[in-house]
């Protein structure tokens, strides 16, 4: 039986996006918004299944972003984050501001998971609506 949405819960989608040269905006939308959307839409079994799926490392800042989003979403739903979010490779070497074109980065309002992993996002994307509200469709 398929879970909530196997494509969106499959960590290979994130690593394929990084390897495929997706733009920062595409990766941001997929990782920051869609992981949360999947968490909010699923039940606890779906969420635990998603947490078991350890994404492969890409050697990019997106490893830290995925870990921060997953850690944050797990804590919002009172689920222990998976151990893989603590792997040293899942922390940015230097603090990283994503989507630099935004005029007012709000780094002081970042949840603990993002501060811990060294990535700063637009925290408005962390509410229950999880961003833009448009369904995300994987690129071929």
26-65 residue pLDDT tens: 888 888 888 887 777 778 888 888 888 888 999 999 999 9
At 42 the three-state DSSP class reads coil
Percent of the chain with pLDDT over 90: 21
pLDDT of 131 higher than 60: no
pLDDT of 5 higher than 60: no
Sorted by sequence, the CB contacts under 8 Å of residue 84 that are 6+ apart come out as 54, 55, 67, 90
Q: Bigger pLDDT: 102 or 88?
A: 88
What is the pLDDT averaged over residues 101-113? 64
User: Residue 73 — very low, low, confident or very high, per pLDDT cuts 50/70/90?
Assistant: confident
Locate all alpha helices (DSSP H) within 10-136, ordered by sequence: 12-19, 24-28, 35-41, 44-52, 62-76, 112-117
Q: Is 40 exposed, middle or buried (0-12, 13-18, 19+ CB in 10 A)?
A: middle
For residue 35 the two structure tokens come to 């992981």
Select the highest-mean-pLDDT range: 26-35, 97-106, 121-130.
26-35
Is residue 39 within 8 A of residue 73, CB to CB? The reply is: yes
Beta partners for 119? 96
The model's pTM: 0.79
Q: How confident is the model at residue 105, as a pLDDT?
A: 54
Is residue 30 within 8 A of residue 132, CB to CB? The reply is: no
- Residue 46 to residue 48: CA distance in whole angstroms: 6
Structural domain boundaries in the chain:
6-126
């Amino acid at each position: 039986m398929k879970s909530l949405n196997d494509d969106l819960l499959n960590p290979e989608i994130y690593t394929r996006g990084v390897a495929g040269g997706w733009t920062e905006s595409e990766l941001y939308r997929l990782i920051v918004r869609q992981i949360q959307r999947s968490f909010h839409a699923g039940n606890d079994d779906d969420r635990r299944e998603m947490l078991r799926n350890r994404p492969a490392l890409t050697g990019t800042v997106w490893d830290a972003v995925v870990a921060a989003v997953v850690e944050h979403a797990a804590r919002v739903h009172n689920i222990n984050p998976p151990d893989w979010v603590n792997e040293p490779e899942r922390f940015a070497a230097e603090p990283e501001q994503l989507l630099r074109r935004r005029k007012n980065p709000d780094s002081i309002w970042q949840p603990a998971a993002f501060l811990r992993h060294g990535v700063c996002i637009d925290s408005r994307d962390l509410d229950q609506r999880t961003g833009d509200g448009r369904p995300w469709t994987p690129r071929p």
